Amino acid sequence: MHRNRFINPWNSIWTLCLLGFVWGNFQNSLRAGEEPFLNKQVLFEEKTNGYSVYRIPGIVVTAKDTILAYCEARKLREADRGEIEIHLRRSSDGGKTFSPAQHVAHMGPRLPRNPHMPKSKRGKDMGGPEEQTVNNPMAIAGKDGLVHMVYCVEYARAFHMVSKDDGLSWSDPTEITYALDHLRSELDWQAIASGPGHAIELNNGRLIVPFWLATYEENAPLRKAAGLIFSDDKGVTWEAGDLAIREGGEPNVVQLADGRVLMTSRSSQQRRLASYSENGATNWSKPHLVEDLLEPGCMAGVVAYPGRDGISGSVLLFSNPHTTKRKHSGRQNVTIKLSRDGGLTWPLQKLLENGPSAYSDLAVLADGTILCFYESGETPPKIKRNRDWAYANITLARFNLKWLTQ
């Protein structure tokens, strides 16, 4: 059992004063003559290179300011299960040009299908018996120059690998599923998935990777939850933190200016769920609905804007479809939102993509350029599919704060 820590009220007052000071400097920086800009480019296009669609984007900026943009490359069909690989593209010039797509996972032996998959989901939509699903990639851009990637295979096993050369090459994958076994006493999970999106390194060097866990047993006391795993030795060993959001899914995390960690999660209540932890692993606060964050049942992106004052986490950026329509065909209008109070409110919002758009992730370059990597498409779709959604490409948007705040 974890002890609750005493929270000094003067710490909260100091934090509010700090945020006010930072926000003032932040606003002044926007008046320095910088012109607003926004540009977009499709990095992964459906029906190219032998793949049906590309989905589930993630993006990080490394310590050397290299952009790593990655996703699921779905080879034979659009479904969440089937022959799926993780592909990655790199840019070392701020996103102006990118390398060709690289297949980075899973590079180990092919693994068996998830034995817990319900019979009702073992049809054509789930892929053939020889197909392998590699799902939910999450990268961490370490402050020491290492890049970590965690992903799952068959929604059943988790793996970790490391790059020492900014994503050009990767170590052999190491299985880390053991870290989640600790949570079986609370949720006897039959399916797991990291994120998706990106994971983070805290100021103290701790690596944290959000996960969601689920069981297919209809009568289980808890059927799904959002939590995380963490490492205090640069990814050599991993362990599970506390379950943060019961009945949550597809969580993301960000560290605030005062050191706390915010987790947000999908919900079934038309608003995003949020919870806070002092150490990014345990003693999560009671989840609450965030009124400004509409929830269509879709993954979202969140990132701390570093700020020219060097204080990261004082300004947060968030991206998701600004709608409460829960059908896949209703996912549209990815919007960028800004918070200056640790994610309690998001008063500034601006539409990024007017039309079909869904999963998204965020990152920030050293010069302050914001990157949103998101699923996109056209209405009506150029290519007929078996499903009623139109997003099958992944687009990179580059913009600055002046564009967002003008």
Q: Which DSSP string do the residues of 95-164 spell out, in sequence order? A: TSS-PPPEEEE--S---PPPTT--GGG-SGGG--TT--BEEEEEEEE-TTS-EEEEEEETTTEEEEEEES
Q: Do residues 230 and 242 lie in contact, with contact meaning Cβ atoms separated by under 8 Å?
A: no
Model pLDDT for residues 75-92, shown as the tens digit of each residue: 988 889 999 999 999 999
Specify the higher pLDDT residue, 123 or 255.
255
Q: In what order do the strands lie in the sheet with 271-277?
A: 249-255, 261-266, 271-277, 288-294
pLDDT for position 16: 45
pLDDT bucket at 307, cuts 50 / 70 / 90: low
pLDDT bucket at 123, cuts 50 / 70 / 90: low
Q: Which DSSP string do the residues of 46-112 spell out, in sequence order? A: TTBTTBSEEEEEEEEE-TT--EEEEEEEESS-SSSSSSEEEEEEEESSTTSS-PPPEEEE--S---P
Indicate if the pLDDT at residue 334 is higher than 90: yes
pLDDT for position 18: 46
The three-point CA angle 155-160-165 to 5° equals: 135
- Average pLDDT value for the chain: 89
Across the range 114-137, mean pLDDT stands at 76
Helix and strand element counts for the chain (H, E): 3, 27
Q: Cβ contacts of residue 30 below 8 Å, gap of 6+?
A: 401, 402, 405
pLDDT bucket at 23, cuts 50 / 70 / 90: very low
Q: Tell me the chain's radius of gyration from C-alpha atoms.
A: 20
pLDDT for position 22: 44
User: Is residue 196 reached through a cis peptide bond, with omega within 30 degrees of 0 on the bond before it?
Assistant: yes
3-state secondary structure of 318: strand
Across the range 216-233, mean pLDDT stands at 96
CA separation for the pair 307, 29 (Å, rounded): 9
pLDDT bucket at 5, cuts 50 / 70 / 90: very low
Lowest mean pLDDT among 123-137, 142-156, 365-379, 388-402: 123-137
CA separation for the pair 64, 59 (Å, rounded): 14
CA separation for the pair 241, 219 (Å, rounded): 25
Specify the higher pLDDT residue, 49 or 10.
49
pLDDT for position 117: 79
Across the range 243-272, mean pLDDT stands at 96
Q: Do residues 271 and 215 lie in contact, with contact meaning Cβ atoms separated by under 8 Å?
A: no
Q: Report percent pLDDT > 90 for the chain.
A: 76
Torsion angles phi and psi, residue 183, rounded to 5:
-90, 0
Lowest mean pLDDT among 19-33, 109-123, 171-185: 19-33
pLDDT for position 121: 57
Model pLDDT for residues 256-265, shown as the tens digit of each residue: 999 999 999 9
Lowest mean pLDDT among 31-35, 186-190, 201-205, 397-401: 31-35
pLDDT bucket at 386, cuts 50 / 70 / 90: low
- Please state which CATH number belongs to domain 41-109+133-405: 2.120.10.10
Across the range 238-257, mean pLDDT stands at 97
pLDDT for position 9: 37
Closest CA to 79 of 133, 125, 45, 135: 125
Indicate if the pLDDT at residue 402 is higher than 50: yes
Indicate if the pLDDT at residue 14 is higher than 60: no
pLDDT for position 329: 77
